[in-house]
Structure 1
Amino acid sequence: MFWEFSSYENLKAIGISIGIFLLFLLFRKIFVKYIFALLVKLGKIAPGEFLSHLLKAYEKPAQWLFIIIGLYFSVQYFPYFNHSAPFFSKVISASIIMLITWGLLNLSSASSLLFKKINASKYNIEFDEIVIPFLSKVLKFVIVAISISVIAQVFDYDVNGFVAGLGLGGLAFALASKDALSNLFGGLIIITEKPFSIGDWIKTSSVEGIVEDISFRSTRVRTFEQALVTVPNEKLANEAITNWSKAGKRQISVYLNLPQDASRDKVKSTIEKIKAYLKNHPEIHQKTIKVTFDQYKDKAIFIYFYTKTTDWGEYLKVKEELNYKLMDILEEKETEEPEPCPE
């Protein structure tokens, strides 16, 4: 419904309306540059980090709040808009709810203090790295669901009827999203049984590498060729998983073929030198060292031991050092340089 003013009064009202809106934009700039910056400094010196995370989460929503408030007061003087209309008040209320939701979503992210900075000594709570992404996403889903329901009630929508309707369509939804639900349950199995965590080195029939992320649908693994492989949780949960990070040590086995004319003394001397090297290596598990003259026909020496590390880079470094040492030992004996052959 339009207000009836003279042309001068309309222009005056429009000017006041625009002026109020620009004034709130100025307040927004002052708030960001001075007041919010001061609050951030106070948050950094405050005990704990919650206040700092809270301010960071609501930085953008607070800026938009000035725009919404400025819009609300400016339309009070705008001559061609009925600010008393119920729909306008509902839009303003819904906008504020959305800003609150925005801040809560920022606060509930996986890197937020909400999960990573809990005082374990006080509450005796410790979150596994594999659980944090799931908790974060579940919390975000709950926040969005509550926000939508509150906004729906603001617009006088019957939320109870909507929830009842979900029960009727639940079966059809489950059939249509069979694969998605299988992946979801696969993810839940991975969480509950904890065959691996983020950062672990795993090996399955389909992939080997470092786990980078675990979501509701899939798990992302970074291979040692630096390729990023996304494996559906349903498939991963049904595969045999070797977690090398949980092993505590990693096996290395090598056959070293000596020249056919190598004498008995040369073979024994080579074995003793290899044993001495392995026993003095700080990254080799001493109780697992086995060096034997295994095959007479090929003059093959079998070398078997475990490394103390399961880190891929350190594991390869130990293997490389062994290969160089074997070459040095053979050169000392003035024999040919046979190449160590992995078993």
Structure 2
Amino acid sequence: MFEGLFSKAYYNNTILEWTIALVLIVATVIFAKIIYLAVGSFLKKLTKKTKNEFDDLLVDMLEEPIVFALIILGVWYSLQTLNLSTAAEEIIGRAYYILIIFDAAWMLTRLMDAVVEKYVRPFVTKTDSKLDDQLLPLLRKGIKVSIWVIAILVALNNAGYNVGALLASLGIGGLAFALAAKDTIANLFGSFTIFIDKPFEVGD
């Protein structure tokens, strides 16, 4: 009975093959969860024994993106066991690369946060100038936005979109937006000038 049931084919794969792929996906998620809890806890205990605090911060920042990467790889491998159509394989392949790109961007932003918290922020707080204290959050957000913009552009290119044409259209749209918002931009530059000249500071 079960042999006949599992031998039935749907979308070029038997029920047994679909079941194996599903079990592999579930096992991947469970394994990633175990890695997150057990290995993460072990690494945290290990890094706490060192004098360097950067490794503690690095583990905290990178453990989630690394676990997510393991899930992506596991799901991709599970789907490779199936006999899929060319169109389905193309969609899965593109989705896989897009998720890897986004995970890499997530990892880079987390790594940047670790570097900022460990090295940049302590250095900035020791300086006499208040300007760097106020600029640091802006620069931090700017770098994060840049990383994600690059990741999105690479992902769109991988998905088959003409990124060059898209950027050109955005350039025209941006010009129209700038003309419509010229007063707002002027006010923004005025605010930035006040910020640089520092006639007053936060808390005054």
Q: Place the TM-score, normalised by the shorter chain, in its bin.
A: 0.7 to 0.9
Listed as ranges, the matches of 1:304-323 within 5 Å are none
Distance verdict in 2 for CA 1:116–1:43, change over 3 Å: farther
Question: Aligned residue for 1:112?
Answer: 117
Question: Aligned residue for 2:150?
Answer: 146
Give structure 2 stretches of 5+ with no counterpart: 1-5
Q: Per-residue deviation at 1:6?
A: 4.1
Give structure 1 stretches of 5+ with no counterpart: 203-343
The superposition leaves residues 240-290 of structure 1 with CA deviations (integer Å, 9 ceiling, x where unpaired) of xxxxxxxxxxxxxxxxxxxxxxxxxxxxxxxxxxxxxxxxxxxxxxxxxxx
Which one has a larger percent helix, Structure 1 or Structure 2?
2
TM-score computed with the length of structure 2 as normaliser: 0.75
The answer (yes or no) to whether the contact 2:61–2:110 under 8 Å persists in 1 is yes
Question: Aligned residue for 1:157?
Answer: 161
Distance verdict in 2 for CA 1:132–1:189, change over 3 Å: same
Distance verdict in 2 for CA 1:158–1:136, change over 3 Å: same
Q: Distance in 1 between matches of 2:183 and 2:60?
A: 37
Indicate the RMSD between aligned Cα atoms, in angstroms. Answer: 3.4
How many residue pairs match? The answer is 193
- Structure 1 letter corresponding to 2:161: Y
Distance verdict in 2 for CA 1:27–1:166, change over 3 Å: same
Listed as ranges, the matches of 1:1-343 within 5 Å are 6-7=7-8, 10-78=14-82, 85-108=89-112, 112-113=117-118, 115-118=120-123, 128-178=132-182, 180-198=184-202, 200=203, 202=204
Q: Distance in 1 between matches of 2:149 and 2:196?
A: 25
- Structure 2 letter corresponding to 1:91: A
Question: Aligned residue for 1:307?
Answer: none
Q: Distance in 2 between matches of 1:180 and 1:103?
A: 35
Q: Per-residue deviation at 1:181?
A: 2.3
Q: Per-residue deviation at 1:34?
A: 1.6
Q: Per-residue deviation at 1:104?
A: 2.8
SS of residue in 1 equivalent to 2:45 = helix
SS of residue in 2 equivalent to 1:97 = helix
Q: Distance in 2 between matches of 1:184 and 1:44?
A: 45
Distance verdict in 2 for CA 1:192–1:46, change over 3 Å: farther
The superposition leaves residues 276-324 of structure 1 with CA deviations (integer Å, 9 ceiling, x where unpaired) of xxxxxxxxxxxxxxxxxxxxxxxxxxxxxxxxxxxxxxxxxxxxxxxxx
The answer (yes or no) to whether the contact 1:116–1:127 under 8 Å persists in 2 is no
Which one has a larger percent strand, Structure 1 or Structure 2?
1
Q: Distance in 2 between matches of 1:83 and 1:160?
A: 25
SS of residue in 1 equivalent to 2:161 = coil
Q: Per-residue deviation at 1:129?
A: 1.5
The superposition leaves residues 99-147 of structure 1 with CA deviations (integer Å, 9 ceiling, x where unpaired) of 12223334445973363144999xxxx9721111111121112111211
Larger Rg: 1
TM-score computed with the length of structure 1 as normaliser: 0.48
Q: After TM superposition, which residue ranges in structure 1, 4 or more long, deviate above 6 angstroms?
A: none
- Structure 2 letter corresponding to 1:62: I
Q: Distance in 2 between matches of 1:51 and 1:88?
A: 35
